[in-house]
Each structure stands twice: as C-alpha cells, then as structure tokens.
C-alpha cells in the first residue's frame, strides 16, 4: 500500500508540471466558430443548464478524476466536492481501489450531499477483483454512476504496471449488467476511437468519455517515474501516442444518436468547452486545471468553475446561442 500511496503522490506533483502537459498536440484551436456580430441576445439570458444522469446540473462541466489514496487526497477531494456542491456540477472521484483496500473513509457525501458523484475504478482492477469491488466503490461513495478507466499505455510504461489486458471487455459487460447505476468508460489521455466505442456501446456502456491526447500526458508522467533505462528506450516512441480530442468527437458523433459523449483531454478553458459541445459532446470534463486550486481551497475551485462557466457563456453569446441545444448547431468556419 505504501508503494501505491507514493505513486499517487508522484502523480499529483508531476501533473502540476508544465512539461507533462500535451498542449503542443492539442487541436482545439483548429475549431473556429463563426463570429456573430448580431447575437440578438442579452448575456444574462444565456442558459447553461443541462441534464446529466437524470439530474439538472448548472453547466456541462465535470470535475474530472484526479486522485485517490495519496497523502493530499482527502484535502483535494474535500475542496473539489464542496465546490461541486456549491456550483451544482458533477464530480468524478479518482481511482477508489487504493482507498478501499486501505480502508480509508469515503467522505465524499459528507461534503457533497446532493452533487452528482461518479465513482471510479481501473478496468484491470475490475477484472482482477470482480463485481464486489465495483459494487463497494458505488456504495461507499453513494455514486450516481461508475467510471471505468482504460489506461493500457500508462500501465505499459508504469513500473510493475498491468500488462495483461485479456477479458477486460467481458468484465465491463458483466459490470453493466450487474450494477444498478450507469457505467461510464473513459481513457486517461490517449483517446477512445470508433472501434473501441462500438464495442463499449454493445457491452451496455451508458456514456463514453473520449479523453484524447492534448492534456496531461500520463505517458510522460510514468516515463519520469520509470528509472529502468531499457524500458525508457522502449517507451520513447510512444510519448505522443494517441488520438486528439477534436478528431475523436467528430468521429464518435458520427456513430449515431445512441451515444452519449463527454469531451475531455486538453480542455483548458470555457471556449474549449463550447467547442466540445459544438462537436457533439453533451458534457465535458477537466481535471488538471482544478488541481492547483484544489490544493489551495474550496473557494479557489469555485472561482475556477465560475471562470470556466463565464467563458462558456461568452462563447455562447458570441455565437448567438441562447442555450446548449443552439450551441450544438452554431456555425463553424472552415480553414
């Protein structure tokens, strides 16, 4: 357990460093809205509310999965949860496996009694430990849904990471059938492509979080932690592996109306949130932009959410979009 705790602490400190952010490969700036010089709106008319998992949320923003089982984990999660409760947006927990195995309390509902809370387990953990762990993760957090994260490249580079990814789809399918809350599947920054998305939908997955490259690079972070020279050389060509979020949203949106998409991976401000919605996402998720504020205070996280929401409202105003449905069809410029 001490190794897991150290790994989680390393992840937090490294995720704060600019060198592990993939902004150079982000393509969000290629998505250009047609500026509307005649919006025929008042800014205070704009409505950002939407439905998520049967609940009304104030904005299509999810506080993305960040941490679990590290020394700062409880402080971070408390600040995030209190902010989620105050601003009425959802929050995803970091991986719960370590906390559950260490017997740490899951205090999230103490801080966010009415917020939409997403539990979280790794796909290999689900396969290795079975449905009991999934049910425990949901019960411990009174979660509205369970996120299962896919991270095969991260595990390849991570010292002693999981190298056996057989039977994972079957484990996800059985989980979808057995639990009483929706299952959300996400990547951790390398993207979920159309082929994988189709398999997940057929398995009963309710939402897909694309988590393309462009944000925090877990390949880069694990490379920084892996001191084995041979493994570093093997991993080196894969540091920019993956699919970008913009391309993924466009391709996955083409799969049909039965897909519920969460745009994530390189989303850094409210204009990127607007771009995700325009490209077919119903919600967006951000993690790293909340990390530094969460280490500080609840108020700092609230300030960040307020900033993101206001930036989204500006984008909607400047495209003449009074609500999110209108933003879905706002005109784009071709380059």
Q: What residue segments make up the domains of the chain, in order of their start?
A: 2-333
Least confident interval from 30-34, 65-69, 155-159: 65-69
Q: Grade residue 3 by pLDDT with cuts at 50, 70 and 90.
A: low
The answer on pLDDT for 80 being more than 50 is: yes
Residue 319: helix, strand or coil by DSSP?
coil
The answer on pLDDT for 241 being more than 70 is: yes
Structure tokens belonging to residue 259: 């897909």
Q: How many Cβ atoms are within 10 Å of 194's Cβ, its own excluded?
A: 13
The answer on pLDDT for 282 being more than 80 is: yes
The gap from C-alpha 146 to its chain's centroid, in whole angstroms, comes to: 12
Q: Give the CA-trace dihedral at 59, 261, 190, 100, to 10 degrees.
A: 70
Question: How far apart (Å, rounded) are the C-alpha atoms in residues 67 and 124?
Answer: 17
Q: Hey, which CATH number is domain 2-333, 3.40.50.2300, 3.30.360.10, 3.20.20.70, 3.40.50.300?
A: 3.20.20.70
Neighbouring residues of 310: CB distance < 8 A, sequence distance ≥ 6:
270
The answer on pLDDT for 22 being more than 50 is: yes
- State the pLDDT at residue 254: 85
Bigger pLDDT: 3 or 102?
102
Question: How far apart (Å, rounded) are the C-alpha atoms in residues 131 and 264?
Answer: 27
Q: Residue for token digits 């607007």?
A: 274
Q: Grade residue 69 by pLDDT with cuts at 50, 70 and 90.
A: very low
């Amino acid at each position: 357990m001490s190794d897991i705790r150290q790994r989680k602490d390393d992840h937090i400190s490294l995720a704060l460093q600019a060198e592990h952010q993939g902004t150079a490969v982000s393509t969000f700036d290629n998505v250009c809205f047609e500026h509307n010089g005649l919006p025929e709106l008042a800014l205070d008319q704009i409505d950002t509310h939407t439905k998520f998992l049967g609940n009304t949320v104030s904005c299509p923003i999810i506080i993305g999965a960040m941490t679990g089982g590290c020394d700062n984990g409880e402080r971070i999660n408390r600040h995030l949860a209190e902010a989620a409760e105050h601003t009425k947006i959802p929050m995803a927990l970091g991986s719960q496996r370590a906390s559950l195995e260490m017997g740490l309390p899951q205090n999230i509902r103490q801080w966010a009694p009415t917020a939409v809370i997403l539990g979280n387990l790794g796909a290999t953990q689900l396969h290795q430990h079975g449905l009991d762990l999934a049910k425990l993760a949901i019960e411990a957090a009174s979660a509205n849904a369970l996120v299962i994260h896919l991270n095969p490249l991260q595990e390849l580079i991570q010292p002693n990471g999981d190298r056996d990814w057989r039977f994972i789809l079957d484990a996800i399918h059985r989980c979808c059938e057995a639990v009483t809350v929706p299952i959300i599947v996400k990547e951790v920054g390398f993207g979920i492509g159309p082929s994988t998305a189709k398999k997940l939908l057929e398995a009963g997955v309710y939402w897909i979080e694309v988590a393309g490259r462009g944000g925090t690079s877990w390949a880069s972070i694990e490379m920084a932690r892996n001191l084995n020279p041979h493994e570093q050389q093997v991993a080196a060509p894969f540091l920019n592996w993956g699919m970008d979020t913009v391309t993924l949203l466009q391709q996955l949106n083409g799969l049909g109306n039965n897909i519920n998409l969460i745009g994530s991976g390189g989303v850094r401000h409210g204009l990127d949130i607007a771009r995700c919605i325009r490209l077919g996402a119903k919600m967006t998720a951000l993690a790293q932009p909340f990390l530094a504020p969460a280490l500080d205070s609840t108020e700092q996280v609230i300030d960040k959410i307020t900033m993101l929401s206001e930036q989204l409202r500006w984008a909607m105003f400047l495209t003449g979009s009074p609500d999110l449905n209108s933003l879905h069809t706002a005109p784009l410029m071709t380059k």
